[in-house]
Structure 1
Amino acid sequence: MSRRDARDDVTTVLAAGCVLWRHPPRGTHGLEIALVHRPRYDDWSHPKGKLKRGEDALRCAVREVAEETGMGCTPGVELPTLHYVARGRPKEVRYWAAEAVPDETFVPNREVDRLLWLPPRAARGRLTYDHDRTLVDALLTALDAS
């Protein structure tokens, strides 16, 4: 979905996603963050995608997690909205912190061929785009506050 900006007649692409997290298996402490690899762009990012016509942003975010990772999630607090230019068009992406539903299994698909669960520091290092790194910090702050 997109929104036309009357000031400059540019269409903003509207999208939503989640910073998906879990407590690591095997009884270790801390948390892990899911990153997806998109072969089309050869990048590592958080699960996200464009809103469908009439779709609520949170519903889109949960749908995109399911489509890109095969996992369910429990959304939590809303994280900062990112604004950037992608492929020559402005893009607005709303994000939520979301805990992964346990015991779900990733199956590679045409949009996402790999999924990694990484501790926050490693996730920051693996993310392709600087703006995605800010969401790791926002997630940690949100989880500390809860």
Structure 2
Amino acid sequence: MRAAGCVLWRRAPDSDGPQIALVHRPKYGDWSLPKGKLKRGEGFREAAVRETLEETGMACVPGPRLPSVHYVVDGRPKEVRYWAAEAIGGNFIPNREVDRVVWLPPAAARNCLTQNRDRALVDALLDALGGAGETL
């Protein structure tokens, strides 16, 4: 199974540091990074941008490639390729797949993410942004 997503970030309006978007999926009751399966003939990066827009309502500019995540779903291997992506505008509208989006500073995002495998992607984003940590 092939999927792609983004660690979507924006400059915090009230501080110097970045905020990271997390999505809540009611079907799984979890907090995760926006991601989804590739459509037929679609590239990973294209899918990452599309899925991020679909799940968060935010258009984004993809930046550096981040580490891929591998795990098993229903006995099948799944690969999710991620990109750092800066949000450039949009509006979230709740839907069946994603009912909430939150913007959190990196430390809070790490703590909120349901899956441990997603937490390392927060650190990878900060490294990609130049190691700026909480003060981009």
TM-score surpassing 0.5? Answer: yes
Matched, 1:140 2:120: no
Map Cα deviations across residues 69-100 of structure 1 (whole Å, 9 max, x no partner): 11100000000011111232210000000000
Distance 1:87 1:117 in 2: 30
Give, as a single letter, the amino acid of the residue that structure 1 aligns with 2:102. L
Query: What's the secondary structure of 1:128's corresponding residue?
Result: coil
Which structure 2 segments of 5+ residues have no match? none
Counterpart in the other structure of 1:10: none
Counterpart in the other structure of 2:80: 93
Query: What's the secondary structure of 1:52's corresponding residue?
Result: coil
Query: What's the secondary structure of 2:41's corresponding residue?
Result: coil
In our comparison, the structure showing a higher alpha carbon Rg is 1
Q: Which of 7, 16, 23 is the equivalent residue of 1:19?
A: 7
4+ residue runs over 3 A deviation: none
Matched, 1:112 2:98: yes
Distance 1:35 1:90 in 2: 24
**Given the two structures, how large is their TM-score scaled by the length of structure 2?**
0.93
TM alignment of 1:1-146, pairs within 5 A:
13-26=1-14, 28-102=15-89, 104-144=90-130
In the alignment of these two chains, the number of paired residues is: 132
Distance 2:55 2:42 in 1: 18
**Given the two structures, how large is their TM-score scaled by the length of structure 1?**
0.87
Query: What's the secondary structure of 2:129's corresponding residue?
Result: helix
Identity %: 66
Give, as a single letter, the amino acid of the residue that structure 1 aligns with 2:121. L
Instruction: Identify the structure with bigger relative contact order (alpha carbons < 8 Å, sequence gap 6+).
Output: 2
Q: How large is the Cα RMSD of the aligned pairs?
A: 1.2
Query: What's the secondary structure of 1:60's corresponding residue?
Result: helix
Which structure 1 segments of 5+ residues have no match? 1-12
Query: What's the secondary structure of 1:91's corresponding residue?
Result: strand
